Amino acid sequence: MNERSRPSVLIVGAHSDIGRALARVYASAGRDLFLAARRPERLDRDAADLRLRQGVAVTVTAFDILDIAAHAALLEGISPLPETVISVVGFMGQQEESERQPAAAQLVLRSNFEAPSLLLGSVADLMAARGSGTIIGISSVAGERGRATNYVYGSAKAGFTSFLSGLRNRLAKRGVRVITAKPGFVATRMTEGMTLPAGLTAQPEEVAAAVLKAERRRRDVIYVRPVWRLIMLMIRLIPEPIFKKLRL
């Protein structure tokens, strides 16, 4: 087993806008990086830049989280397991398409809930055996109440949030921290073309900085912009007879 002199982080979904921002923020904090993405060649330039500018080690790995059989190989190929593992995998899809096509809904559900949960469950076992580590899942405020405009995506994120909560409870006495991050609206390729309110929309760098801050402060659940905590509380408190008449 090769020991590393610096703490490291594994970012799964590293080619996403938030994933790339996380890589920059963690590299600037002196963390060595393991970047896992379906198309790792798209990260070559980023990796070279981070090595040069930050002086950290960067390893880029091909990984499709939907290939459940590949999960074990990914974790076995990184030795020792990084101190921090972040899943930033997400796929919103189109609500109308998910309603009409079961395969489209399945892709949204698997991408946001099933596959990330199974991967982080395996990570949890390894960290529990070691007695240390931090697991971070990027979930969404969309999971706090099912809404007609995105209930397939929202239900997947609700499942992921619940999974992370249970994992946190399970590992609380095992030396492993589990953090749930809820960004709200983020200006990324996934939301490109959508009309988003400026005051509620974070940039990927803002999300990444909030995640690192949460890890350092040993937080459990964070809303990247605190106003979302109040907004979602209000939405959850709307009585069901009234809620059914709304289009949120």
Catalytic residue annotation:
153
Q: Which of 63, 85, 82 is nearest to 74 (CA)?
A: 63
Cα maximum dimension of the chain: 59
Measured CA to CA, the distance from residue 70 to residue 243 in angstroms comes to: 42
- For the chain, where are the E strands, in sequence order? 8-12, 32-37, 58-62, 84-87, 133-138, 176-182, 185-186, 201-202, 221-223
What single-letter DSSP state applies at residue 185?
E
Query: What b/e sequence results for 76-91 when a residue is b if at least 16 CB atoms lie within 10 Å of its CB, and e otherwise?
Result: eeeeebbbbbbbbbbb
CA distances from 11 to 59, 82, 131 (A): 11, 10, 20
The Cα–Cα gap between 203 and 119 comes to 26
